[in-house]
Chain A
Amino acid sequence: MHALIIDDSRTMRSILRRIVTELGFETSEAGNGQEALDLLEGGLQPELCLIDWNMPLMDGYTFVTRVRADPRWRNLTLMMVTTESEHGQIVRALAAGAHEYVIKPFTPDAIVEKLELLGLAVKEVPA
């Protein structure tokens, strides 16, 4: 399986990459929503996108709405991973088509738990 990690922070991309790699995912990375859309348009076919909300050029919410508006990517699982924790924003993201929502800071277990709920965790993170 392949995960596309979308976050303007290289540090957060590195943290998420280590977690999902342990779960058996291959990964690609994008620094904002537009870069991620470009990768999808270019033929990348991930099963999962991990998406920050606040990013330059195109934020995560806009990315979710753009992906959900295009039937080519209807099977793509979208998980927001963000500091935005206001109830209204969570509802907004889920209504736009995000499948799950993780608030930073998170533990690896929190990511694993969400991926299990989505049927995407393939291997346990070592203790």
Chain B
Amino acid sequence: MIAVEEPSLDDVYAVVEEVWTTFLGSDEPILPAFEPQPGPIEGWTAAVTVTGAWEAMVLVTLGDRLSRTMTGRMLGIADDESSSEDLTDALGELVNVIGGNVKSLMAGPSTLSLPLVAQGAISTTSHLEEACRVDLTWSGDPLRVTVCVPRAEGEHR
């Protein structure tokens, strides 16, 4: 039987907080959501895949307003100046850094894919299941980080 490892919620939150503060500054903290949004967050999703000693997919989902704010801050432009191309690039880098730092918490060696970014949701493959979800809020806008890992051996859906 293969042991499927997953990062703890605290570890994932610590990674996101560090990345967020580095990119956006510490004026407005990113906080755990007191009342997580029950359904999907409408907006943008960015994902990276980890392969090797640890296998996983790390997804970051943000609403449209937060995506534009994040992109504006990262690129040093006004929020309303960001194009879809800007959003794709900035959110790709965001998930790359979050995914890379989550990967560093787990046993290696593993390889990080190039990021995939979409307006809307990104589907995971059927062999993956959600192992860890962190719902956060920044300046009133929701942000979700999800880590999916392979299902335990023998478990099928």
Q: Contact between A88 and B19 (Cβ–Cβ < 8 Å)?
A: no
Main secondary structure of the interface of A (DSSP, over half): loop
Q: Contact between B101 and A9 (Cβ–Cβ < 8 Å)?
A: no
Chain B residues with CB under 8 A of A8: 114
Query: Given the interface contacts A9-B89, A14-B75, A54-B114, does A85 sit within 8 Å of B97 by beta carbon?
Result: no
Bound Cα distance A105, B96 (Å) = 10
Q: Contact between B108 and A83 (Cβ–Cβ < 8 Å)?
A: no
Q: How many residues of B contact A (CB 8 A)?
A: 25
**For chains A and B in complex, what number of residue pairs have CB atoms within 8 angstroms?**
59
Q: Out of B74, B100, B108, which one reaches A11, CB within 8 Å?
A: B74
Q: Out of B101, B104, B114, which one reaches A56, CB within 8 Å?
A: B114
Question: Does B140 count as interface, using CB distance less than 8 angstroms?
Answer: no
A17-28 vs B, Cβ < 8 Å mask (1 yes, 0 no): 010000000000
Question: Does A84 count as interface, using CB distance less than 8 angstroms?
Answer: yes
Question: Does B109 count as interface, using CB distance less than 8 angstroms?
Answer: yes
Question: Does B112 count as interface, using CB distance less than 8 angstroms?
Answer: yes
Q: Contact between B93 and A106 (Cβ–Cβ < 8 Å)?
A: no
Q: Contact between B89 and A104 (Cβ–Cβ < 8 Å)?
A: no
Which B97-124 residues sit within 8 Å CB-CB of chain A?
97, 99-101, 103-104, 108-110, 112, 114
B84-96 vs A, Cβ < 8 Å mask (1 yes, 0 no): 0010011011001
Q: Contact between A104 and B100 (Cβ–Cβ < 8 Å)?
A: yes
Q: Contact between B22 and A105 (Cβ–Cβ < 8 Å)?
A: yes
Q: Contact between B109 and A14 (Cβ–Cβ < 8 Å)?
A: no
Which B55-97 residues sit within 8 Å CB-CB of chain A?
71, 74-76, 86, 89-90, 92-93, 96-97
Query: Given the interface contacts A83-B99, A83-B100, A85-B101, does A11 sit within 8 Å of B90 by beta carbon?
Result: yes
Q: Contact between A10 and B100 (Cβ–Cβ < 8 Å)?
A: no
Q: For residue A14, which residue of chain B has the nearest CB?
A: B75
List 20 additional contacts besides A56-B114, A105-B19; criterion CB under 8 Å. Answer: A9-B90, A10-B86, A11-B71, A11-B75, A11-B92, A15-B74, A18-B76, A54-B96, A54-B112, A54-B114, A82-B100, A83-B101, A83-B103, A85-B100, A85-B104, A104-B97, A104-B100, A104-B101, A105-B23, A106-B22
A sample of 9 inter-chain contacts (CB < 8 A) reads A9-B90, A9-B96, A11-B75, A11-B89, A12-B93, A14-B75, A83-B99, A83-B100, A83-B103
